């Protein structure tokens, strides 16, 4: 019902989203919750379209960089206003194309609005009024910020609007021209977002939508010497591939790469934790957005003297989860993004069946039979070594630890090499401080769930295999899209 209502305010099956020069066949976009339902179509950009986009971007960038930062900011703020006003339509698209639940779709649009406003305000403040530096011999001297040139933004499907517009908004605010390459799974949302920015006043050659397969279109863009920087969010392997592509260029600028990648996020609970709160937060952290958040908890380390109680309560709570149509307000967990993601999770479940104890598999409804649904599961493991790589979906793993093993637990978490989020549940201050000080992650969440980021307040991003930083939605992100010039 909620979805039908949203549809009245703007959603309709999207028309073909073209990638220009149309020699490649159009692909259907199926609703992940019901593969029989075609949401729209899209067409990948071919080599000619990629070349044309690069030429356009090079030609358009200087004038955009000379446009006063305040004017760029005004356009982005107007785009934020438009997005806010059209929230129901964008929410509906998030539900239909990305399988997001209604609350997740609300959060998605709000975060995108916040990113646009945050980078616009920052550009107005720091690009519009160059910093005055003391002159070497009393001369006037100022530090200016400019766009680097052509920025390529390669984004993921799990936050198809918020991460997409965060990257694009920052790159534009800083004075770059932008080629936006959304994930293959969420082209309709990316296209709608680009159209919105054009409507708000971003010139069409300053922001171009170039959809396509990552290994073809993404790779072609990142090895091109005309590209000055890449903002990327996705898997660690792809970040390495982009790094190689940029490093392999024989000419062009030494490019900047801003990469936010995966995680193998843990939650540490000691015996002073409140079990009810712990279970509520573990469920929220592991299964919200069908576990498809970079920040999602995958491993719960729980001290042995409360472990049995916590696992019993976890199983009970999982029985209550409602898996199904994300367009219904009663749904807790929607589908995963596509059948490829589902297959990886099913393979993981098959391996876990041989190696681990199943704590609980949440029930699925009849409604789930036509979509890419994976029933949320929790297993008990003996050690973190049993998880070889990032698992992306509603899968939680529980490991017991003994009081004297806290440092070993922290070392094991650090040894994964990932460093995105960590949750701590404890009511002992020394334990909280010890864990927070030693763990190598970007975001630590204490006595709460471990998902969520608030633009400008609680910026998000990791270290190690989880990314280059700086944190999205934090004060150091926008400057990475810029180059500095002193005028003395």
- Residues lying near ligand ADP in the complex (CB under 6 A) are found at 154-156, 181, 183-184, 214-215, 218-219, 222, 234-235, 238, 241-242
Beta-sheet strand order (sheet of 377-380): 357-361, 377-380, 395-401, 297-303, 265-269, 421-425, 443-446
Which residue of the chain is nearest ligand ADP when measured via CB? Answer: 214
Which two tokens mark 410? 């922290």
Which two tokens mark 433? 């401080």
Distance of CA 46 to the CA centre of its chain: 26
Catalytic residue among 260, 380, 404, 484: 260
CB of 314 to ligand ADP, least distance (A): 27
CB of 196 to ligand ADP, least distance (A): 19
CB of 345 to ligand ADP, least distance (A): 13
* Alpha carbons 6 and 386: distance in angstroms, whole number: 43
Q: How far is CA 400 from CA 181, 302, 316, 381, 403, in A?
A: 42, 5, 19, 8, 10
The DSSP string of 403-437 is GGGHHHHHHHHHHT-EESEEEEE-S-HHHHHHHHH
CB of 347 to ligand ADP, least distance (A): 15
Which two tokens mark 208? 């171009």
Q: How would you classify residue 212: left for phi > 0, otherwise alpha for psi between -120 and 50, otherwise beta?
A: left
Which two tokens mark 349? 């479940």
DSSP state of 383: -
Closest CB to ligand ADP among residues 220, 273:
220
DSSP state of 11: -
Closest CB to ligand ADP among residues 219, 446:
219
Q: Of the candidates 247, 244, 241, which has an alpha carbon nearest to the alpha carbon of residue 261?
A: 241
Catalytic residue among 94, 294, 355, 380: 294
Closest CB to ligand ADP among residues 159, 445:
159
Contact at 8 Å (CB) between 451 and 285? Answer: yes
Closest CB to ligand ADP among residues 219, 444:
219
Beta bridge partners of 265: 297
Distance of CA 440 to the CA centre of its chain: 20
Contact at 8 Å (CB) between 451 and 296? Answer: yes
CB of 179 to ligand ADP, least distance (A): 12
Closest CB to ligand ADP among residues 50, 145:
50
Closest CB to ligand ADP among residues 73, 178:
178
CB of 216 to ligand ADP, least distance (A): 8
Residue 243 makes CB contacts below 8 A (sequence gap 6+) with 257, 259
Distance of CA 45 to the CA centre of its chain: 23
CB of 177 to ligand ADP, least distance (A): 18
CB of 194 to ligand ADP, least distance (A): 14
DSSP state of 130: P
Q: Active site includes 260? A: yes
Closest CB to ligand ADP among residues 259, 318:
259
Query: Dihedral of CA 304/306/307/308: which sign?
Result: positive
Closest CB to ligand ADP among residues 145, 220:
220
Residue 103 makes CB contacts below 8 A (sequence gap 6+) with none
Task: Tell me which residues are annotated as active site.
Answer: 260, 294
């Amino acid at each position: 019902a909620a979805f039908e209502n949203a549809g009245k305010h703007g959603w309709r099956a999207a028309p073909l989203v073209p990638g220009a020069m149309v020699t490649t066949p159009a692909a259907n976009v199926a609703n992940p919750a019901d593969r029989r339902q075609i949401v729209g179509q899209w067409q990948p950009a071919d080599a000619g379209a990629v070349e044309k986009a690069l030429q356009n971007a090079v030609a358009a960038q200087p004038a955009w960089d000379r446009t006063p930062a305040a004017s760029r900011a005004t356009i982005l703020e107007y785009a934020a206003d438009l997005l806010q006003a059209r929230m129901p339509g964008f929410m509906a698209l998030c539900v239909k194309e990305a399988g997001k639940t209604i609350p997740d779709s609300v959060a998605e649009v709000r975060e995108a609005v916040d990113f646009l406003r945050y980078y616009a305000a920052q550009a107005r403040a720091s690009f519009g009024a160059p910093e005055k530096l003391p002159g070497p011999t009393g001369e006037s001297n100022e530090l200016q910020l400019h766009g680097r040139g052509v920025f390529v933004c390669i984004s993921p499907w799990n936050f198809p609007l918020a991460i997409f517009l965060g990257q694009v908004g920052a790159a534009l605010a800083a004075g770059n021209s932008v080629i936006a390459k959304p994930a293959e799974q969420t082209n309709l949302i990316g296209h709608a977002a680009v159209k919105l920015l054009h409507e708000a006043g971003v010139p069409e050659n300053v922001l171009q939508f170039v959809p396509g397969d990552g290994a073809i279109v993404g790779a072609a863009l990142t090895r091109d010497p005309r590209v000055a920087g890449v903002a990327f969010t996705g898997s660690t392997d792809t970040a390495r591939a982009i790094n190689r592509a940029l490093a392999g260029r024989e000419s062009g600028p030494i490019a900047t790469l801003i990469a936010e990648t995966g995680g193998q996020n843990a939650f540490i609970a000691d015996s002073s934790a409140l079990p009810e709160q712990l279970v509520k937060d573990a469920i929220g952290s592991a299964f919200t957005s069908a576990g498809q958040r970079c920040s999602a908890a995958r491993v719960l380390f729980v001290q042995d003297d409360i472990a049995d109680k916590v696992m019993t309560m976890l199983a009970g709570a999982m029985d209550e989860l409602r898996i199904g149509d994300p367009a219904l307000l009663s749904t807790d967990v929607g589908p995963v993004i596509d059948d490829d993601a589902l297959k990886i999770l099913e393979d993981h479940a098959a391996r876990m069946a041989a190696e681990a104890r199943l704590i609980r598999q949440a029930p699925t409804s009849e409604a789930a039979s036509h979509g890419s649904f994976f029933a949320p599961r929790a297993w008990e493991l003996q050690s973190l070594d049993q998880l070889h790589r990032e698992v992306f979906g509603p899968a939680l793993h529980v490991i017991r630890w003994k009081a004297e093993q806290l440092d070993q637990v922290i070392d094991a978490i650090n040894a994964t090499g990932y460093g995105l989020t960590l949750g701590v549940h404890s009511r002992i201050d020394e334990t909280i401080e010890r864990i927070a000080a030693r763990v190598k992650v970007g975001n630590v969440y204490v006595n709460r769930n471990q998902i969520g980021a608030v633009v400008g307040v609680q910026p998000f991003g990791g270290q190690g295999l989880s990314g280059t930083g700086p944190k999205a939605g934090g004060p150091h992100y926008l400057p990475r899209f810029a180059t500095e010039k002193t005028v003395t």
